[in-house]
Chain A
Amino acid sequence: MSAEELKTGPLEYRTKEGQMSILGFWIFLGAEVVLFATLFATYAVLFGRTADAPHPGELFEAGTVLIMTFLLLTSSFTCGLAIHEMRRGSVKGLTIWMIITLALGLGFLGFEIYEFVHYAHEGATIQSSAFWSSFFVLAGTHGLHVTLGIGWATLLLIQIARRGLTNVTSRKFFIISLYWHFLDVIWIFILTSVYLIGMVI
């Protein structure tokens, strides 16, 4: 763990600490893939086991889901722009795009909460059947990740305002961007294997 520093390349990769943190985070994402894969498998196994509760096809609404997808995909794009600005050395650009990203993320969360409340009114809660348990836990885990991401990025925004771009702050932003894109990928899987299939079958 020496303090030697490269002179070229992206800021976050110039120190050994930076490289190690990023590699560690990639491995962590590998573990997250397993975590979500297990939840997806559980969902698949419990699919259709709705007991007396409504069927997914009766409740899933294409409209809400499409808006949510739009919000999250856009936020992944703006997050990419934020990192692009960071690479150009622009704290301001990074901050602005990141705030937009978070706003989109919040919008997504808002719709998700609305959706959950709506389902509960229709008689589908985590307690009503095995299917709905697995649905709420799968979607809810994703939603929880988004919430954590928003809180985390907010902390980072405070740090960048205080410290500017350094090896450390740039590394932190790079890592949260990986996290954010990862959540987007997971959402695509939820969209297709939960909502689309749920609406068709």
Chain B
Amino acid sequence: MHITDILVTGEPIIYAAMVSIALVSIAILFLLTYFKKWGWLWREWLTTVDHKKIGIMYILSALAMLFRGGMDAMMMRVQLAFPDLGFLDSQHYNEIFTTHGTIMIIFMAMPFLIGLMNIIVPLQIGARDFAFPYVNALSFWSFFFGAMLFNVSFIIGGSPDAGWTSYTPLSGAAMSEGPGQNFYLMGLQLSGIGTLATGINLMVTILKMRAPGMKLFHMPIFTWSTLVTCFIIVFAFPILTVALALLTIDRIFGAQFFTLTGEGLPMMWANLFWMWGHPEVYIVILPAFGIFSEIIATFAKKRLFGYNAMVWSMIIIALLSFLVWVHHFFTMGAGAFVNSVFSVSTMLIAVPTGVKIFNWLATLYKSKIEFSVAMMWALAFIPSFILGGVTGVMLGMAAADYQFHNSYFLVAHFHYVLIAGTVFACFAGLVYWYPKMFGHKMNERIGKWAFWLFFFGFHVCFFPQYFLGLDGMPRRLFITNIVEWLPLNIISTVGAFGMGLGFAVFVFNIYYSFRNSEREETGDSWNGNGRTLEWATTTPIPYYNFATVPYVDEIDPYVRMKEEGKTTYDESKLEPIHMPSYTGAPFIMMAFLALGSFGLIFEWMIVAIAGLIGGVIMMILRSFDYDEGYHVEVDEIKRIERKARGL
């Protein structure tokens, strides 16, 4: 085998990417060596089981993936605005919309939100860590290696090109040879394991580790959204696991599940995929609702209106999310009756969603709004998301969908919900909880620049696409040189670059704030408006989170604590705190499984088996590991708390 059989060749963009990847990698290796940071990297990060650090690693990776997915998006937009330039050929365009969609949903949106959950949920319920810290590290590394595996397909072996939905028979062995599609299957499979594990982990954490006195209906709304999301994860992800496995077996071992020979059923893929895929949409939107609810309550300085209705509407949305999957293929011949049933179930979701929107508005009504950056993202979300939601209802009408299906109308719709919902929420949540993570705020002035650039860019980019869709422009099309389509496409591309600029400013703000922002003194960063327990710890948060866990018997407990002058520190009640030890095993185990997956992708069975054996050996070692962690002694806690609280 020759190296050029594996490396992707023949395109200047790809050579440029290879060179830049090589340069960045060399630079990172050099810097780590030069500053002697290898030990630090291993001891502090690669082996960590601390939920806060794992959360930060999730968010950093998700930002990197947003960059990658965003680059893909820009390239597509350039192609669509200047179709005569010949910037991308059809094959390359196929690969790029496939990787863009997959990366954005699986490796950007979900990990970003899971990162925020990682950091915030234990703090909100007064817990010291996850129920299973080791498993949490395992989950992160499975996501990380899955994402890396998927990303290298760009330069090694070739990217998948059958869309993020990977419909059979197009994605089957007969029509998509070679490793590209295998990258999709194994990348998603590997990271899916971690997602399922996180779902279970967070569920147990929330059900079993709440502060004494805290009933389920005392929990902060973000924690509620996490719990509901975890239910969806546990019930949806196994479906994806099976679907991916079946297609892998089809492709690599010659089975006939989705083939046209051997009486397989290609439509079964569409069903399995969307039985997972539609709930997946709610996996990335419900936590976003939770984040906005927290932010709106904080900066409206009011208790969230209709707490119970908010919780119940999330539960109902979660249940309904499993009953609507067919709306993704109304046009594929299921018949009028089936289509009608799924059309109605789809529209039902608008009801609980509407309830939520009215509750947010009611919270804002007659309140003294503080227009911080986090709040601006939250406020911008409401009208933008309504635009996405209303067009969703339009798509949900089966009869009308025959017109909209696979047109740019759809592209506009799902970007309206995903960006205004999830991406705004990720940014909002990051800004809002940033002081908790890093001990300083992000600069508000630069933050506003990022916000306005992104916000305007977003509407300029996607609003015209509704009209392109109504004009008949199909999605996944790389030539747009039909005269009527060109102007709107050019406007859309301008908007896309506005968003790109907004993102760049956002990232610059991270650097700028790191250098220049004032360090936080108190834990209650937003002018003392914090309502939930995460604001009751000191900043930076000690690794054990809470010195003494407060008793909670109401919503927004921290409001009362402040009124009564209480804190989460009571020196007379200190006890040694039990903590788990750091370990490199999760990293190593997942590295082995990634190696095995890599082998399977190229159908090098020896490598695949070697990786699998390595992984199994690591599991056996884990089974024999009786490390019970260690205790933080009272003196140590006293020293840390007194220093942090300036006592």
Q: Tell me if A1 and B128 are in contact (CB < 8 A).
A: yes
CB of A88 closer than 8 Å to a CB of B: no
Residues from 570 to 587 in B contacting A, C-beta threshold 8 Å:
575, 577-580
CA distance A34 to B279 in the complex (A): 14
B264 partner residues in chain A, CB cutoff 8 A: 46, 49, 130, 133
Let me know if A128 and B262 touch, CB within 8 A: yes
How far does the Cβ of B629 sit from chain A's closest Cβ, in whole Å? 8
Task: Contacts A30-B235, A126-B255, A155-B623 given; indicate if A16 touches B208 (C-beta within 8 A).
Answer: yes
Among A21, A31, A128, A168, the most chain B Cβ lie within 10 Å of the Cβ of A31
A38-B272 in contact (CB<8A):
yes
From A1, A27, A168, give the contact of B203 (CB < 8 A). A27
B262 lies within 8 A of A129 (CB): yes
Asked whether, in the complex, the Cβ of A45 is within 8 Å of the Cβ of B255, the reply is no
Interface residues of A in 140-160 (CB under 8 A from B): 152, 155-156, 158-159
| A28: B residues at CB distance < 8 A | 200
The chain B residue with its CB closest to the CB of A133 is B255
**Contact pick for B257, options A51, A130, A158, CB 8 Å:** A130
| A145→B452 CA distance, assembly (Å) | 53
Q: What string of 1s and 0s marks CB contacts (under 8 Å) between B544-558 and chain A?
A: 000000000000000
Known: A2-B578, A38-B239, A129-B263. A46 touches B204 (CB 8 A): no
Give the shortest distance, in Å, between B434 (CB) and chain A (any CB). Answer: 27
Q: Which residues of A contact B132 (CB under 8 A)?
A: 20-21, 24
B325 interface residue, CB < 8 Å from A? no
Binds A, one of B9-17, B246-254, B333-341, B409-417: B246-254
Pairwise interchain contact A3-B256, C-beta atoms closer than 8 A: no
Report yes or no: A126 in contact with B253, Cβ–Cβ below 8 A.
yes
CB–CB A49/B263 < 8 A: yes
For residue A131, CB closer than 8 A to chain B, the reply is yes
A39, A131, A133, A155: residue with the most chain B Cβ atoms closer than 10 Å? A133
Query: Are B249 and A133 in contact, CB atoms less than 8 angstroms apart?
Result: yes
A127 and B129 form a contact (CB under 8 A): no
Nearest chain A CB to B500 CB, angstrom units: 38
Distance of A61 Cα from B575 Cα, bound (Å): 64
Residue numbers in A under 8 Å from B253 (CB-CB): 126-127
* Interchain CB contact under 8 A, A137 and B255: yes
Identity of the chain B residue whose Cβ is nearest the Cβ of A32 in the assembled complex: B238
Given contacts A2-B578, A16-B208, contact A133 B257 (CB under 8 A): yes
A168 to B209, CA, bound (A): 19
Distance in Å: Cβ of A73 to nearest Cβ of chain B: 26
Instruction: Identify the closest chain B residue to A136 (Cβ).
Output: B255
Whether A23 touches B204, Cβ cut-off 8 Å, given contacts A34-B235, A42-B242, is yes
User: What CA separation (Å) do A84 and B255 show in the bound complex?
Assistant: 43
- Shortest Cβ distance from A166 into B: residue: B626
Instruction: List residues of B (225-252) whose CB comes within 8 Å of A's CBs.
Output: 234-239, 241-243, 245-246, 249-250
Q: Do residues A35 and B257 form an inter-chain contact, with CB atoms below 8 A?
A: no
Interface 0/1 of A119-138, CB less than 8 Å to B: 00000001111111110110
B209 to chain A, nearest CB (A): 8
Check: B201 CB closer than 8 A to any chain A CB.
yes
A69 is an interface residue with CB less than 8 A from chain B = no
* Contact of A31 with B235 at beta-carbon distance under 8 Å, contacts A46-B257, A51-B263 already known: yes
Instruction: Report the minimum CB–CB distance from A191 to chain B (whole Å).
Output: 21
Does A50 reach chain B (CB closer than 8 Å)?
A: yes
Q: Give the residues in chain B near A45, CB-CB below 8 Å.
A: 265, 268
- B255 and A27 contact, CB distance less than 8 A: no
B131 at the interface (CB under 8 A from A): yes
A64 at the interface (CB under 8 A from B): no
Please state if B131 and A20 are interface contacts (CB–CB under 8 Å).
yes
**Is A19 interfacial (CB-CB < 8 Å)?**
yes
Is residue B259 contacting chain A, with contact meaning CB distance below 8 A? yes
Give the secondary structure class of A's interface: helix
Task: Report whether A130 and B263 are in contact in the complex, using a CB–CB cutoff of 8 Å.
Answer: yes
Residues of chain B contacted by A168 (CB below 8 angstroms): 626
* B238 contacts A130, C-beta separation under 8 Å: no
Would you call A24 and B239 a contact (CB within 8 A)? no
Which one of A20, A34, A127 lies within 8 Å of B255 (CB-CB)? A127
**B451 CB to closest chain A CB, in angstroms?**
39
Which A residue sits closest to B236, measured CB to CB? Answer: A34
Residue of A nearest to B575 (CB): A2
B216 at interface by CB-CB < 8 Å = no
Please tell me which one of the listed residues A19, A35, A136, A156 contacts residue B241 in the complex, with CB atoms under 8 A apart.
A35
Q: Is the CB of B249 within 8 A of A130?
A: no
Residues of B within 8 A of A127 (CB): 253-256, 262
Least CB distance, B583 to chain A, in whole angstroms: 16
Once A27-B204, A42-B246, A49-B263 are accepted as A-B contacts, the answer to whether A134 and B239 lie under 8 Å apart by CB is no
**Which of A20, A34, A130 is in CB contact (< 8 Å) with B239?**
A34
CA distance A49 to B577 in the complex (A): 60
List the A side residues contacting B620 at CB < 8 Å: 155
B241 to chain A: closest residue by CB: A35
> In the bound complex, do residue B200 and residue A1 qualify as a contact, i.e. CB atoms below 8 Å apart?
no
Q: Are the C-beta atoms of B200 and A24 separated by less than 8 Å?
A: yes
B595 within 8 A of A: no
Q: Which of B319-375 contact A (CB under 8 A)?
A: none
Q: How far is the CA of A147 from the CA of B203 in the complex (A)?
A: 28
Contact present for B242 and A39 (CB under 8 Å): yes
CA distance A34 to B579 in the complex (A): 34
Instruction: List the B residue with the shortest CB-CB distance to A33.
Output: B238
Tell whether, in the assembled complex, residue A35 and residue B263 are in contact, meaning their CB atoms are under 8 Å apart.
Answer: no
Cβ contacts under 8 Å, A20 to chain B:
131-132, 204, 208-209
CB contact between B234 and one of A30, A39, A128, A158 (< 8 Å): that residue = A30
- In angstroms, Cα B245 to Cα A168, docked, is 34
Chain B 197-227 interface mask (CB, 8 Å, partner A; 1/0): 0011101100111000000000000000000
Set B196, B241, B256: member contacting A129, Cβ < 8 A: B256
CB-CB < 8 A to A51: which residues of B? Answer: 256, 261-263
A82–B196 alpha-carbon span in the complex (Å): 30
Given contacts A23-B204, A24-B131, A24-B132, contact A34 B263 (CB under 8 A): no
Within 8 A of A (CB), among B145-174: none
Q: Which residue of A lies closest to B253 (CB)?
A: A126
CA distance A49 to B255 in the complex (A): 13
Task: Give the complex CA separation of A50 and B256 in angstroms.
Answer: 10
Known contacts A1-B128, A45-B268; decide if A50 and B263 are in contact (CB<8 Å).
yes
Residue of B128, B200, B242, B623 near A38 (CB, 8 A) is B242
Q: Is the CB of B255 within 8 A of A1?
A: no
Q: Which residue of B lies closest to A53 (CB)?
A: B262
Instruction: For the complex, give the distance between the alpha carbons of A32 and B241 in Å.
Output: 11
Q: Which residue of B129, B208, B236, B262 contacts A23 across the interface (Cβ within 8 Å)?
A: B208
CA distance A190 to B577 in the complex (A): 48
5 closest Cβ contacts across the A-B interface?
A49-B263, A133-B255, A35-B238, A34-B238, A130-B264
- Listed by A's residue number, 17 A-B pairs whose Cβ atoms lie within 8 Å are A2-B575, A16-B208, A23-B204, A27-B200, A31-B234, A31-B235, A34-B236, A35-B239, A42-B246, A51-B256, A126-B249, A127-B255, A127-B256, A129-B262, A133-B246, A133-B262, A159-B623
Extra pairs beyond A32-B238, A126-B255 (14, CB < 8 Å): A1-B129, A1-B579, A2-B578, A27-B234, A31-B200, A34-B235, A35-B239, A35-B241, A38-B238, A50-B263, A131-B263, A137-B246, A137-B255, A159-B624
Using a CB–CB distance below 8 Å, which chain A residues touch chain B? Answer: 1-3, 16, 19-21, 23-24, 27-28, 30-32, 34-35, 38-39, 42, 45-46, 49-51, 126-134, 136-137, 152, 155-156, 158-159, 163, 168
